[in-house]
């Protein structure tokens, strides 16, 4: 794997996490598929389904999001207070970072 590919993958992973938080910050409970569709539209890239759900699981384990099982099979996600704080911090960091480019 080339260095450019590694960097692109790292940036896409980080932005995916921020965009998951941003998408859920509206307060709407969304399923993983709907979150993925919004993010891929925003980033204009393809994210492997397995990678995306791994990220969701990791974010839930770390306390940034919660999931609720609806109808016994459909899982929906919402943002936690820790996730809201991380989103605010990420926005400030990204704004400052982009100003320095």
**CATH number, domain with residue 80:** 1.10.10.10
Rounded Cα distance between 76 and 35, Å, is 10
| Dihedral of alpha carbons 55, 56, 60, 65, sign | positive
Q: How many domains does the chain have?
A: 1
Terminal Cα distance for the chain, rounded:
26
Enter the tokens of residue 19: 């965009």
Where is mean pLDDT largest: 27-36, 39-48, 64-73? 27-36
Report the C-alpha gap between 26 and 33 in whole angstroms. Answer: 17
Using DSSP's 3-state secondary structure scheme, residue 26 falls into coil
Enclosing domain of residue 38: 3-99
pTM for the full predicted model:
0.85
Does residue 9 register a pLDDT over 90? no
Q: How confident is the model at residue 40 (pLDDT cuts 50, 70, 90)?
A: confident
How many helices and strands (H and E) does the chain possess?
4, 3
């Amino acid at each position: 794997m080339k260095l450019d590919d590694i960097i692109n993958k790292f940036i896409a992973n980080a932005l995916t996490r921020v965009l998951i938080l941003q998408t859920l910050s509206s307060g709407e409970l969304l399923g993983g598929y709907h979150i993925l569709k919004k993010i891929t539209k925003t980033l204009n890239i393809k994210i492997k389904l397995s990678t995306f759900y791994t990220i969701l699981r990791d974010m839930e384990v770390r306390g940034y999001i919660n999931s609720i099982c609806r109808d016994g099979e459909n899982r929906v996600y919402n943002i936690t207070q820790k996730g809201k704080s991380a989103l605010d911090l990420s926005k400030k960091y990204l704004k400052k970072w982009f100003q320095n480019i």
